[in-house]
Amino acid sequence: MQKIKDFQNTIGYNFQSEGLLRQALTHSSYANEKHMKKLSDNERLEFLGDAVLELVSSDFLYKNYQKLPEGELTKLRASIVCEPTLALCAKELHLGEYLLLGKGEDQTGGRERKSILSDALEAVIGAIYLDGGFANAKEFVLKYIMTDIEHKQLFYDSKTILQEVVQGEHESLQYVMTEESGPDHNKSFTVEAHIDNVCLGVGSGHTKKAAEQEAAYRALLKIREDKEQNR
């Protein structure tokens, strides 16, 4: 299957058993639709990958943030391995393009759904671990997830950080929903983050909260960019 080979080229890892990668990319909707045998989807691999990801991320943060206490390390790790951040990493790999989804899931935006993308990314980690051992799985995590930590933390805490920035500058902050579409089971929201009635960031998501989080993140990046230019 060409997509399987293309994805291996994308991540720079060649599977000895391509069946493991195919399973990692197989969503339950596809397995059910194709009447595949029980446990053929990626859920068990996701379970394994989640554990590998937690160990690798914990080891990385312990060694690289030696002045942080346990509570801060836990918070930092949470910002990196949470669903929205993992989905962000998955999008950078164009993971959604390679997923095997049922027709219904595909037609309702499954390739962009954060829960599906983050679960599939963890499943890929689990598949690499089984196929090539811990060292290869660790290399994948460090290369594609444990990077740009500052921005990932900013994304995770974006609404809180933006609120603090606004309070410090005595400005007003509003989240304005500009679009709502889709059926009840698959809503999509677009939200703008307005500071002093000026739109500084736009976000979208399947919940208002997710859309607001992305809008806040975009606004923070814009504020940082403006400050850099004004120096």
What would the DSSP string read from start to end of 174-204?
EEEEEEEES-GGG-EEEEEEEETTEEEEEEE
Could you tell me if 52 and 77 lie in one domain? yes
Listed residues 147, 173, 189: the one ending a domain: 147
Could you tell me if 94 and 119 lie in one domain? yes
* Beta bridge mates, 176: 192
Could you tell me if 136 and 53 lie in one domain? yes
Could you tell me if 129 and 163 lie in one domain? no
Domain holding 103, by residue range, is 2-147
Could you tell me if 110 and 137 lie in one domain? yes
What amino acid positions are annotated as catalytic residues? 50, 122
Tens of pLDDT, residue by residue over 185-224, are: 778 899 999 998 899 999 988 789 889 989 999 999 899 8
The reported pLDDT for the residue numbered 215 is 94
Determine contact, residues 113/206, Cβ cutoff 8 Å: yes
Rounded to an integer, what distance in angstroms lies between the CA atom of residue 128 and that of residue 136? 7
Residue 34 lies in a domain: yes
Write the DSSP symbol of residue 205. E
Residue 197 lies in a domain: yes
Residue 83 lies in a domain: yes
Could you tell me if 86 and 121 lie in one domain? yes
CATH code, domain with 190: 3.30.160.20
Per-position b or e across 77-107, b if 16+ CB within 10 A of its CB: bebbbbebbbbbbbeebebbebbbbbeebbe
Residue 198 lies in a domain: yes
Count of CB atoms within 10 A of residue 123's CB? Answer: 27
Helix axes 208-229, 158-169, angle to 10 degrees: 50
The reported pLDDT for the residue numbered 170 is 63
Could you tell me if 21 and 76 lie in one domain? yes
CATH code, domain with 83: 1.10.1520.10
- Give the CA count within 13 Å in the CB-facing half-sphere of 25: 21
* Low-confidence residues in the chain, pLDDT < 70: 170
Could you tell me if 186 and 116 lie in one domain? no
Domain count, the chain: 2
Could you tell me if 137 and 166 lie in one domain? no
The reported pLDDT for the residue numbered 167 is 87
Could you tell me if 135 and 165 lie in one domain? no
For the entire predicted model, the pTM comes to 0.82
Could you tell me if 134 and 207 lie in one domain? no
Listed residues 120, 147, 174: the one ending a domain: 147
Residue 152 lies in a domain: no
